[in-house]
Amino acid sequence: MKKYALTVSMLILALVFSSPAIKADDKAYKSAPDDVIGTWMVPAGDATVSISKCGSQYCGKITWMQKPDVDSKNPDKSKRSTPLVGMQMLRDFVFNAEKNRWDDGKIYDPDSGDTYQCMLSLTDKNTLKVKGFIGFKWAPIGRTEIWTRTADKK
C-alpha cells in the first residue's frame, strides 16, 4: 500500500511541475491593469461577459445570452428566479503586475451554482485565459477557458 501511495504522489508531482497546461501566467503578452476591461465571448459562443472596474478591483457581469435564462442552480433558493443577464459572475480581481495577471478573484458558474477562486491573464489583447480552481493556483484541480474579446451584443 505504501508503494502505491508513493507512486501516486510522484505521479501527481510530475504532472504539477511538468505540465504547461497548468502554468499560472503567460509572460508573452505584457498586460496593463485596464487591458482586461471589455466584452468577452465565452467558448460556447452563447454568452458574453463584460469586465469593468469596480472601485480598485475588476468585476464582470453577463451582458448577453443567446438563450436568456434564470439562475436556477443558485444554492440560495430565493435567487433561483434571478435573470442571468445582468448578473455579476466575476468579482474581486486585482492586477498583479509582477505576475502579469489578475489575481484573488472569484467566478460564479451558473451551470453548477458554485463559486470558485479565479485568475485571469491575457495571452494577447483579444484572448483572455480564465482559470477557475479549488485550492492552490498551481494545482491541476480546476478548469481553464479561453474567452475572446468581442463587440457588445444587444
Instruction: Give the pLDDT confidence of 68-89 residue by residue, as tens digits.
Output: 999 999 999 999 999 999 999 9
In the chain, what are the domain boundaries? 22-150
Q: Check if the beta carbon of residue 73 is closer than 8 Å to that of residue 111.
A: yes
> What are the respective helix, strand and coil percentages of the chain, to the nearest 5?
20, 45, 40
Q: How confident is the model at residue 138 (pLDDT cuts 50, 70, 90)?
A: low
Residue 21: pLDDT over 70: no
Q: How confident is the model at residue 139 (pLDDT cuts 50, 70, 90)?
A: low
How far is 8 from 106, CA to CA, in rounded Å? 30
Please report the pLDDT score of residue 6 as a whole number.
Answer: 32
Please report the pLDDT score of residue 25 as a whole number.
Answer: 43
How far is 31 from 99, CA to CA, in rounded Å? 10
Whether the model clears a pTM of 0.75, i.e. scores above it, the answer is yes
How far is 125 from 30, CA to CA, in rounded Å? 9
Whose grid coordinates read 501516486? 8
The amino acid that residue 7 corresponds to is T
Region 110-116 average pLDDT: 95
Q: How confident is the model at residue 29 (pLDDT cuts 50, 70, 90)?
A: confident
Query: If one looks up domain 22-150 in CATH, what number appears?
Result: 2.40.128.520
Residue 88 C-alpha cell reads as 455579476
**Residue 55 region by backbone torsions, left for phi larger than 0, else alpha for psi between -120 and 50, else beta:** left
Q: What is the CA radius of gyration of the chain?
A: 17
Please report the pLDDT score of residue 154 as a whole number.
Answer: 59
Q: Check if the beta carbon of residue 61 is closer than 8 Å to that of residue 49.
A: yes
Residue 120 C-alpha cell reads as 485571469
How far is 101 from 81, CA to CA, in rounded Å? 34
Residue 83 CA, chain-centre distance (Å), reads 20
